[in-house]
Amino acid sequence: MKLNIVPARHGVLWVKQGLRAFIKQPLALIGLFFMFMAVMSMASLLPYVGNVLALMLLPGATLGLMAATKESSQGKFPMPLVLVSAFRAGSQRLRAMLALGAMYAAGFLGVMAISALFDGGQFAQLYLVGGKITEEMMNSGDFLTAMWVAMALYMPLSMVFWHAPGLVHWHGVSPVKSLFFSGVACVRNMGAYTVYSLAWMGIFMLAGIVLTTIAALSGNPAMLSALLLPVAMLIIAMFFTSIYFTFADSFLAPDPPTVPSSTPETPNP
């Protein structure tokens, strides 16, 4: 496994590759994405341990979507079982993926715990348990500080876990080493990942502008509310499809060793 340094323009390439893979198998990939969302939601509903369990499953479930994208890009139809690829690759990989999930859950809860120091846990409770953002929260300096602190701390957490599931599953890297290599890959290819993030932000903004314009021209403001959620979910599904290409372009398989020929060379006369 070798780190591949790519130019910033590859950020746009990753987005295009994700869109092309999605278009090849749109029904399969969006169906798998909603299955992914359903599993995460059901896990989080379990009393006491639900949110922790959902966090632990997230790296493995994300790997499942990456595996589905890989199959789609190869012209195959990804079946539902591909979602659990991370948990069907043998006992060693299973233990490694569960360890990775435990570390992710611990890291995320640590971020929420630090944010709670600024607002007494209001933002963390809203994020983990759910609820509605009120005007009072948005006017609270402590709440806003906790939100920005959580966002700032989550960025390096997401970088070290971004490629970790793929490294564990496809390259057999240990969980701890996978975090190191993932963070290094994101830092060394920061230009490409910045362009990649900006491109997806632009797609989300463009979709919002198009939907707002359609609703305004039709004279039906309710149409915006009706279309906003399904379009947003569709774009998020496409985003998850593109994650595989950020991994595949950042790491290269080692060159196969050269096998010496068993036939002796004939010396030139």
- Please provide the average confidence, as pLDDT, over all residues in the chain: 87
Tokens 């939100």 -> residue: 147
- Kindly indicate the confidence band of residue 257, based on its pLDDT and cuts at 50, 70 and 90: very low
262 has pLDDT over 70: no
Residue 269 resides in a domain: no
Residue 262 resides in a domain: no
Residue 1 resides in a domain: no
Counted domains in the chain:
1
21 has pLDDT over 80: yes
Average pLDDT over residues 203-229: 83
Residue 171 resides in a domain: yes
pTM exceeding 0.75: yes
- Kindly indicate the confidence band of residue 135, based on its pLDDT and cuts at 50, 70 and 90: confident
Q: Which residue has the higher pLDDT, 252 or 56?
A: 56
Residue 220 resides in a domain: yes
Q: What percent of the chain has pLDDT over 70?
A: 94
How many other CB atoms are found less than 10 A from the CB of residue 8?
14
154 has pLDDT over 70: yes
From CA 176, how far away is CA 164, in angstroms rounded?
A: 9
Average pLDDT over residues 142-147: 88
From CA 32, how far away is CA 69, in angstroms rounded?
A: 10
Q: Which residue has the higher pLDDT, 266 or 173?
A: 173
Average pLDDT over residues 38-59: 87
- Kindly indicate the confidence band of residue 261, based on its pLDDT and cuts at 50, 70 and 90: very low
The pLDDT of residue 254:
61
Q: Which residue has the higher pLDDT, 216 or 207?
A: 207
Amino acid at 222: A
Q: What is the DSSP string of 61-120?
A: HHHHHHHHHHHHHTT----GGGGGGGGSS-HHHHHHHHHHHHHHHHHHHHHHHHHHHHHT
From CA 93, how far away is CA 63, in angstroms rounded?
A: 12
Among the ranges given (44-48, 84-88, 181-185, 191-195), the one the predictor scored with the smallest mean pLDDT: 44-48
Sign of CA dihedral 250, 195, 199, 155: positive
Q: Angle, nearest 10°, between helix axes 190-218 and 175-188?
A: 80
From CA 126, how far away is CA 94, in angstroms rounded?
A: 32
pLDDT (tens digit per residue) in 101-123: 999 999 999 999 999 999 888 88
- Residue 75, domain extent: 8-252
Residue 41 resides in a domain: yes
Q: What percent of the chain has pLDDT over 90?
A: 55
Residue 140 resides in a domain: yes
191 has pLDDT over 90: yes
The pLDDT of residue 228:
84
The pLDDT of residue 223:
74
User: How is residue 35 written in tokens?
Assistant: 């299955």
User: How is residue 264 written in tokens?
Assistant: 């002796």
Residue 3 resides in a domain: no
255 has pLDDT over 70: no
